[in-house]
Amino acid sequence: MLQLSFAERLCLWQQQHGRHGLPWQQADAYRIWLSEIMLQQTQVSSVLAYYPRFLARFPDVSSLASASLDEVLVLWSGLGYYSRARNLHKAAQMVVQEFAGEFPRTRLQLERLPGVGRSTAAAIAAFAFAERETILDGNVKRVLTRCFGVEGFPGDKKVEQQLWCLAESLLPTDAAFMTAYTQGLMDLGATICRRSKPACILCPMVDVCVAARDGRTAELPLRRPKKAVPTKHTVMLLATHGDQVWLQRRPPTGIWGGLLSLPEFASSLAVEDWLAQMGQGDILPAWDELEHVFTHYRLIITPLPVRLAQLQAQGTKELDGQWLSLELAAEAGVPAPVKRLLLQLANAR
């Protein structure tokens, strides 16, 4: 293989050993876009569980654009990074309204869509339209850093720009190979050039890889300098009235933006004010704490059950929320830890 270019090696390897038969591996811009958004910071195995259900409900961009955000969030619930779902909905509406329901073909036009950055736009353009555009996600950064011995943390702007230039220089000259090449980059990083225990003996680049040659696969790419992960605390209210539970709409931006969730308080003392506004009832003993880990912090949740015997006439109208049966609440668009608490509440009754 010494006489072959990086792109030629990769395409040959992908055709023989890469991943084939994934449900989004077809020249359909909508399906490719949907999969690329779902795959952002998410493993293929997780997306495979959500993708068919999402596609069954929204088979094309028009059906997605005409749906309510609540419908989208319900199907997205549990997949995490909910800003992706909100951007997905906005982007679908933009494709329908500004592009007459047809996805734009060029990377620069695709980057105009909410939630679509340079690498995601390049993947859509390459897969759907055979455009000569390079991707540069975390897996690709790892492959290039090791293969070409790129020093520095890939998240640094200067190093990242160096990797973009390198990635562009490696593109196949014939656009007909863009699908195999782009998929090959993804497959190589995900299945061979893994973060830990890379399978170098199976890699088509092993004889030209700087990291393999110098024994630096554990060192490259350089890690981000470690920072202490902060811990935050919240009290989540499990307020019930009969067989119903109160869910409150979260703000449209931020963590769990736009989802229904349990009301949150800084302490159990603030719950008394809420109870006075909502009606008459009892605050019950708190449940065991529940930990939920985000990318940048740990959230310690104290679940606090409250049983309301009588509601204020105006109380619920002044709050952005609703009473739902326990059965329906767990199936609504709620964050994963909230769903866990709702199921626990239903099982305890």
- Please state, in angstroms and rounded to a whole number, the distance separating the CA atoms of residues 335 and 326: 15
User: Contact, 61 vs 96, CB < 8 A?
Assistant: yes
Closest CA to 345 of 266, 243, 249, 233: 243
Respond yes or no on whether the N-terminal peptide bond of residue 221 is cis (omega within 30° of 0).
Answer: yes
Instruction: Give the Å distances, CA to CA, from 176 to 46, 69, 282.
Output: 30, 38, 68
| Helix-helix angle 44-57:29-38, to 10 degrees | 130
Contact present, 304 and 345 (Cβ < 8 Å): no
Q: Is 102 a catalytic residue?
A: no
Collect all residues with Cβ–Cβ distance below 8 Å to 82 and sequence separation of at least 6. Answer: 73, 76, 255, 256, 257, 258, 259, 335
Q: How far is CA 47 from the centre of its chain?
A: 9
Residue 82 DSSP one-character state: T
State the Cα–Cα distance between residues 31 and 44, nearest whole angstrom.
Answer: 15
- Name the catalytic one among 8, 36, 151, 318: 36
What are the tokens at 276? 């006075």
Cα 133 to Cα 61, 118, 136, 279, distances in angstroms: 23, 9, 10, 59
Beta strands 298-311 and 290-293 are antiparallel
Residue 334: Cβ within 10 Å count: 25
**In whole angstroms, how large is the CA radius of gyration of the chain?**
24
Indicate the Cα dihedral angle 126, 58, 342, 235, nearest 10°. 50
Q: Is 178 exposed, middle or buried (0-12, 13-18, 19+ CB in 10 A)?
A: buried
* Tokens, residue 346: 């239903």
Q: Which residues are identified as catalytic?
A: 36
